[in-house]
Amino acid sequence: MSEIIDDGGVASAARAAMGDAVRARLDRNPMVHRIDTPHLEIYGRQDFLSAEECAGLRAIIDAGAQPSTLFSGSANAEYRTSHSCHLSPWEPLVETVTQRICAITGIAPEKGETLQGQRYTQGQEYRVHCDFFPVTASYWPRMLQSGGQRCWTAMIYLSAVEEGGETQFPKCEFMVPPVEGMILIWNNLDRDGAPNDYSLHAARPVARGTKYVVTKWFRERKWSP
Ligand SMILES: O=C(O)CCC(=O)C(=O)O
Ligand SMILES: [Fe+2]
């Protein structure tokens, strides 16, 4: 019998407390900078990974890349045109990077989904979407059982891109150009723990070059796929 209330679309004291803890930790890290935007909690830290670590992850992604799929099920050719790769948590480099992401955010490792790699070649993009789960989505009941709402996203750029490939937050009217080794961390929820529409974002099409990222999504509870 499940004790979990189906509350992923509204304010929640537990999700708000998780936000408070992560914000407090990031705010006191002198290497981390908050991006100055009023409606979204988003932070960056340069040189989170070394050039060697980025190259190592790019090679792993190249070896395992498959056409990206969407949560809605289909491999939608229009919407998310990149290639993705679920990175083995047993790979030593993946394990190290995962531990470091958990350390900088202070989020319990058990809440983190497996690190996912993505590669965008020229013309590829990921159109505007939310990382939190809409509770009206057909997959929400499954997500509720597998750890609940997606709260924080941590994404690391593994390459610079000659042109394009920015991560755009259209409702906040800014975008972040890829910088190799930089981590971007944002809260997909508001201060009350409800989904925040200002967190909507897109990966702008790559105009020249190849973009590589790894993304880690954190759930509100233990992730149990
Ligand atoms: O590649 C990017 O800049 C964004 C990726 C993204 O939105 C995601 O993986 O959820
Ligand atoms: Fe996303």
User: Does residue 148 belong to any structural domain of this protein?
Assistant: yes
- From CA 152, how far away is CA 147, in angstroms rounded? 13
| Domain span including residue 48 | 13-219
Check residue 1 and give its pLDDT: 46
In this predicted model, what pLDDT tens digit does every residue of 182-202 receive, in sequence order?
A: 999 999 999 999 999 999 999
CATH code for position 130? 2.60.120.620
User: Does residue 211 belong to any structural domain of this protein?
Assistant: yes
- From CA 101, how far away is CA 112, in angstroms rounded? 10
Question: Model ipTM?
Answer: 0.99
Answer whether residue 77 shows pLDDT above 90: no
User: Does residue 131 belong to any structural domain of this protein?
Assistant: yes
Answer whether residue 64 shows pLDDT above 90: no
Closest-CA residue, ligand 1 atom 10, reads 131
* 84 touches ligand 1 (CB under 6 Å): no
3-state secondary structure of 36: coil
Other Cβ atoms less than 10 A from the Cβ of 77: the count is: 9
Other Cβ atoms less than 10 A from the Cβ of 133: the count is: 21
- From CA 175, how far away is CA 92, in angstroms rounded? 32
In this predicted model, what pLDDT tens digit does every residue of 137-171 receive, in sequence order?
A: 999 999 999 999 999 999 999 999 999 999 999 99
* 203 touches ligand 1 (CB under 6 Å): yes
User: Does residue 5 belong to any structural domain of this protein?
Assistant: no
* 41 touches ligand 1 (CB under 6 Å): no
Q: How many domains does the chain have?
A: 1
Closest-CA residue, ligand 1 atom 4, reads 203
Check residue 78 and give its pLDDT: 66
* 213 touches ligand 1 (CB under 6 Å): yes
